[in-house]
């Protein structure tokens, strides 16, 4: 067991830093998995990923320039690789669906065997379509009736959807946040190892790993690091804007809620790791770009969370439609 003394602000900062580290280690996993399951990357804005990658690249450059720990440099490289994976998924699945559409058109072209069968049955299909009316409009009308405010059926439907969503999503949420806590506390425990006494001549010299460990070196104003920090902050903030606009069209379809929840957790603990270790004006000024970048991103991610909540009925209705079509 490792105890935290009440006066040990650096130990608390270290714990927050390691939890933040664990969040950033796992933050991409939910969205990459979401794209894989649905074989689509249309829920993610390309501009969002590209601008975010610019922020990660400036972070990588700053880490190398400042001679940070190799783990921080490796993590920056990992961020960039995950950005590339998201971009590759988006373009791969777009190409995949275009090829499927082209194949369907060629199979149904006049003169082909499939095309003749389709043309022979076209009249009966049109009649059935006119008789039953469009599926979307039928579902929209029925959903409008079912979702009438105060309707017992509407309340039952919403309760069923909520329970169904929780039963499907809760295990993944518990798994991801469980891993975050395990990785975070494990890293913090190792960093607090009493055998690594800084007064021990055999102990390695302290390094600024950004996690708020004790005996941190004196902070100095570095113009290159500040430029990289402000570019990175601007990139992280502006990356959310195209995603927010895209969500107005897609209703957050294909977007992982857990992706943004973990991001908010990572930014909150990152800000906490900076503010708990030292709240002097000089310390805040030196870290201002990172504080603004993380704090502003939290605000924008909360807007995305509101969009998830606001568009929940549209996503649920379209999910029912997809199930009826595929059944």
282-291 pLDDT tens trace: 888 888 888 9
Average pLDDT of the chain to the nearest whole number? 75
Residue 125 has pLDDT above 70, yes or no: no
- Ramachandran area for residue 213 (φ above 0: left; ψ -120 to 50: alpha; else beta): beta
CB 253 within 8 A of CB 307: no
State the Cα–Cα distance between residues 234 and 296, nearest whole angstrom: 10
Can you give the three-state secondary structure of 282-309, one letter per residue?
A: HHHHHCHHHHHHHHHHHHHHHHHHHHHH
Residue 148 has pLDDT above 90, yes or no: no
Mean pLDDT within 123-146: 42
**Between 198 and 40, the higher pLDDT residue:** 40
Residue 1 has pLDDT above 60, yes or no: no
Q: Which of 1-15, 166-180, 190-204, 311-325 is predicted with the least confidence, judged by mean pLDDT?
A: 190-204
Mean pLDDT within 30-44: 90
Mean pLDDT within 183-192: 88
Nearest to 290 by CA among 324, 309, 266: 266
Nearest to 266 by CA among 186, 323, 190, 211: 211
- Report DSSP state, residue 279: -
**Between 294 and 128, the higher pLDDT residue:** 294
SS3 (DSSP) at 220: coil
State the Cα–Cα distance between residues 175 and 209, nearest whole angstrom: 27
SS3 (DSSP) at 208: coil
The domains of the chain are located at 9-103+152-193+221-326
Confidence of residue 252 (pLDDT cuts 50, 70, 90): very high
> Which are the contacts of 275, defined by CB distance < 8 A and separation ≥ 6?
284, 291
């Amino acid at each position: 067991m490792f105890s935290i003394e009440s006066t040990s602000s650096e130990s608390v900062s270290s714990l927050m830093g390691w939890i933040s580290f664990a969040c950033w280690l796992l933050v991409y996993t939910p969205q990459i998995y979401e794209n894989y399951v649905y074989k689509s990357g249309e829920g993610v804005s390309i501009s969002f990923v590209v601008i975010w990658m610019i922020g990660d690249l400036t972070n990588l450059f700053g880490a190398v320039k400042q001679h940070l720990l190799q783990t921080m440099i490796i993590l920056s490289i990992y961020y960039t690789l995950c950005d590339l994976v998201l971009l590759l998924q988006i373009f791969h699945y777009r190409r995949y669906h275009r090829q499927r559409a082209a194949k369907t058109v060629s199979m149904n072209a006049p003169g082909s065997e499939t095309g003749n069968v389709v043309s022979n049955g076209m009249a009966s299909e049109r009649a059935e379509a006119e008789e039953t009316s469009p599926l979307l409009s039928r579902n929209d009308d029925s959903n409008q009736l079912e979702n009438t405010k105060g309707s017992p059926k509407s309340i039952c439907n919403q309760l069923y959807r909520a329970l169904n969503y929780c039963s499907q999503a809760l295990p993944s949420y518990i798994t991801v946040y469980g891993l975050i806590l395990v990785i975070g506390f494990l890293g913090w425990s190792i960093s607090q190892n009493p055998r690594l006494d800084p007064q021990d001549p055999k102990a390695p010299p302290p390094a600024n790993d950004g996690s708020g460990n004790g005996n941190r070196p004196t902070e100095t104003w570095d113009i290159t690091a500040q430029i990289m920090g402000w570019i990175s902050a601007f990139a992280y903030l502006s990356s959310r804007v195209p995603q927010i606009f895209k969500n107005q069209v897609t209703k957050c379809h294909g977007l992982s809620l857990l992706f943004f929840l973990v991001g908010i957790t990572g930014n909150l603990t990152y800000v906490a790791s900076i503010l708990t270790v030292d709240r002097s004006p000089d310390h805040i000024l030196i870290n201002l770009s990172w504080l603004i970048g993380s704090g502003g991103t939290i605000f924008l991610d909360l807007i995305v969370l509101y969009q998830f909540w606001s568009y929940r009925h549209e996503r649920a209705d379209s999910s029912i439609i997809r199930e009826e079509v595929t059944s």
